[in-house]
Amino acid sequence: MNILFYCTFSNEKEWLQEIKKIFKGQKIYTIKNKTNFNDIEIAIVWNLPDKYLSKLKNLKVIFSPAAGVDHILNLPSYKNIPIIRLKDPSMAKRMSNHVLSQILNYQLKLTLFQKAQVKKIWYDEMQTLLNNKIQVGILGVGFLGTFVGRYLKKLNYNVVGFKNSSVKEKTPFPIYIKKKLDQFIKESDIIVCILPATKKTRHFINSNFLNKMKKNSLLINVGRGISINEKDLLQHLRTSRNFYASLDVFQKEPLPKSHPFWRHPNVTVTPHVASLTVISSAVKLMHKRFKDFKRNGKIKSDVNLIKGY
């Protein structure tokens, strides 16, 4: 089959090399090739410009080489073509490690001690909470959110989740739905945002949401940058001296050098690295779904177009 590969990742060449290796026997094209776009049946793309999607008249399946799919759904030429999103346990493990690192940094007061080291200050003993005394709220209980919640639950944290729709699968932690959002916010000591990018999740975390959080809590965002109203968060940080935020995603990336987040003492900035894709693992997962499609002649989309994820 004819496959188009396009992505804007810095390691694009590694991706292409691995795809050619695993998808052996298939014709792999890039937009740099002299390609007859009408012959393309499969696309593996990230941030494909709409001018190219509009030319793919016989496209049957689109693979996203990462968890997000808004980069496809937002294209004007997208017309209900099945989308296969990446659900890679390797990515989920990386995200879980990242989230745990930020929880421990907050829980054990490591940032305070790092600052004290610079000033050569020796603090007296400071009690820190044990895991079972901390409630972590997972905002967005999809594939990644469920994995992170299970991981933290095994470490004896009190974990709760919030999901806007009904829960189909059993989880080892309680999940609040819709009208219980306020309860979810007020009970959580730490909130981990893993929301997808949709119209409904834009600025989901705003002043109203932040004011319901505990005054000395931690907000971690490893989902999408649009979930947080950044102006509201900065204002909340000004008035809540014991409130902390660990942000891995932003409305504009790379984060502009002039952005206040860089220099705020209560904000940890990481450059969208919480769940980096493991290329070899990701390509093998995509190839498995590809073989199923080739064998059956049809494939079910992973994305609910009404929900947008």
Cα atoms in the 13 Å half-sphere on the side-chain side of 143 = 17
Within 132-214, where are the H helices? 143-154, 181-187, 207-212
Mean pLDDT over 119-137 rounds to 96
Q: Six-digit token pair at 102?
A: 């930020």
Q: Range(s) for CATH 3.40.50.720 in the chain? A: 2-88+278-296, 89-269
The pTM of this model reads 0.95
Q: Six-digit token pair at 308?
A: 């947008």
Give the C-alpha separation, 217 to 240, whole Å.
Answer: 10
- The pLDDT tens digits of the residues spanning 252-274 come to 999 999 999 999 999 999 999 99
Q: So what's the pLDDT on residue 107?
A: 98
Q: What angle do CA 45, 192, 143 make, to 5 degrees?
A: 45
Give the C-alpha separation, 104 to 266, whole Å.
Answer: 15
Q: So what's the pLDDT on residue 239?
A: 96
Q: At what angle do helices 89-107 and 279-296 cross, to 10 degrees?
A: 140
SS3 36: coil
Residue 168 has pLDDT above 80, yes or no: no
- The pLDDT tens digits of the residues spanning 190-218 come to 999 999 999 999 999 999 999 999 999 99
Residue 61 or 169, more confident? 61
- Are 249 and 272 within 8 A, CB to CB? yes
Q: What angle do CA 16, 19, 21 make, to 5 degrees?
A: 110
Q: What is the mean pLDDT of the chain?
A: 96
Protein fold of 2-88+278-296: Rossmann fold (3.40.50)
- The one-letter amino acid at 126: M
Closest of 274, 270, 226 to residue 252, by C-alpha: 226
Largest CA distance in the chain: 70
89-269: CATH number: 3.40.50.720
Give the C-alpha separation, 38 to 25, whole Å.
Answer: 20
Give the C-alpha separation, 49 to 77, whole Å.
Answer: 10
